[in-house]
Amino acid sequence: MDRRIILWIILVTAADNSLSEALATLLNPSNVEDFIQCAVQLAWDPEALPPTSLLYPSFNEDIPKTADLAEYLWRQCFYYALPRRKQAKLAEDMRADPSRSLDANRIIRSFFMDFSAKNPARSSEVGEVIAYSVVQHYLRAPQIAAKMALKTSANMPVHGLDGIHAAFENGAMTIFFLEAKLAKSASAGARSYAESAKDFLGNRAQYLREYDIVADLGNLDALEGEDRKAALDYFDIIGHPRLQRRERYVGVVCYSEKEAYSKKIAVGSGSIDAHEAHFAENLAKLHERYRQSALRHIEANGGDPAKCYLFFLAVPDINELRRKFYQAMGLEPPRDLPEGDDETVDSMEQA
């Protein structure tokens, strides 16, 4: 082989590795597996599309740790809601004066909508935090733009996608467009995800706007030198049209799972993990049903199931998780929230 070709391959490989490692530095601290477990992993199978994963909250013996999950998600809001420059400034301030942690709490809490007893489905931004946490951990893709910081009013949603993440691997930039759903069932969440993906793909102006947000207001400015320029070039689709990008539409559906949670075993003195293992086994049996449901909704909306990833997070009741999240935030929601009165919603943009 010509030495010039060999040298070119070496240089390209080195540049690719550098960009991949640079993007990985944008991954935030996370211990997701302490709070969310996986019953079925995301796997690529051309005969079983879309790739679909089933997740659930960790158990304490026979009890799903919904409150622990909600508190974890609230702590993750420091990374989810704040641009990296703001994170760094607050972290520096808190090191100098720990009391400044109260400022961080106030700033982050100000991004979230007030709890609405009359319309609890509107108070669903916990869905985006779940999506952020799941995609960062399971796809190893850091958040590229903190869209919550774009809000001009806490009680107005941010329009467009619920999140933008990216990873560079195998010589290609993969951009993950996130849709977060809280739903009364897995099928309802998959339907809403597929409809949102269709609306986004059909709106060229919004599509370009999402790329502009990353280029102008995203987290890529935390990178340095050639890595920063190379990453930004991938998000400049007008200025660098010859750069190819993989685009994947990730649905993270947190839903009220009735069937698997109803199949309990008696509390005894055996293995303390028996209850969680029993639940995970029953949840895994629903995998094909939920994947087929997602496939039908994606195809009905003209989507490509090969470009869609689905994560279903099964909780006992999404209203309970919503309530616990607001409690962790320090905003006690009304106690008369009706159980099960949950609509499937776009967390950042109401349908």
Amino acid at 53: S
Q: What is the pLDDT at residue 345?
A: 54
Q: What is the pLDDT at residue 304?
A: 94
**Token digits of residue 301:** 């909306």
Phi, psi of 288 (to 5 degrees): -65, -40
Q: What is the pLDDT at residue 125?
A: 87
Q: What is the pLDDT at residue 146?
A: 86
Secondary structure (DSSP) of 156-185:
SPPPS-SEEEEEEETTEEEEEEEEEEEESS
Q: What is the pLDDT at residue 1?
A: 55
Q: What is the pLDDT at residue 171?
A: 85
Q: What is the pLDDT at residue 161?
A: 87
Q: What is the pLDDT at residue 122?
A: 57
pTM of the predicted protein model: 0.88
Q: Are 181 and 189 in contact (CB under 8 A)?
A: yes
Phi, psi of 285 (to 5 degrees): -65, -20
**What tens-digit pLDDT sequence spans the chain (351 residues)?**
555 444 333 334 445 788 999 999 999 998 999 999 999 999 999 999 999 999 999 999 999 999 999 999 999 999 999 988 889 899 999 999 999 999 888 988 888 866 555 555 556 789 999 999 999 999 999 999 888 876 554 545 556 789 999 999 888 999 999 999 999 999 999 999 999 988 888 888 888 889 888 888 789 888 989 999 999 999 998 999 899 999 999 999 999 999 999 999 999 888 999 999 999 999 999 999 999 999 999 999 999 999 999 999 999 999 999 999 999 988 766 555 554 444 555 544 433
CA distance 247 to 254: 23
Q: Per DSSP, which regions of the chain are E strands?
A: 36-40, 52-57, 59-60, 63-64, 163-169, 172-183, 245-256, 308-315, 345-346
Instruction: Write the CA distances from 254 to 3, 183, 239, 307, 345, integer angstroms.
Output: 53, 6, 37, 20, 11
pLDDT digits (tens, 9 = 90+) for 223-237: 989 999 999 999 998
Which residues lie across from 247 on neighbouring strands?
A: 175
CA-closest candidate to residue 350, choices 14, 125, 44, 43: 125
Q: What is the pLDDT at residue 351?
A: 33
**Token digits of residue 225:** 């030198």
Chain mean position to CA 330 = 23
Q: What is the pLDDT at residue 6?
A: 40
Cβ contacts of 217 within 8 Å, gap of 6 or more: 83, 145, 149, 150
Q: H/E/C letters for each residue in 291-334?
A: HHHHHHHHHHCCCCHHHEEEEEEEECCHHHHHHHHHHHHCCCCC
**Torsion of Cα atoms, 11 then 12 then 14 then 20, to 10°:** 160
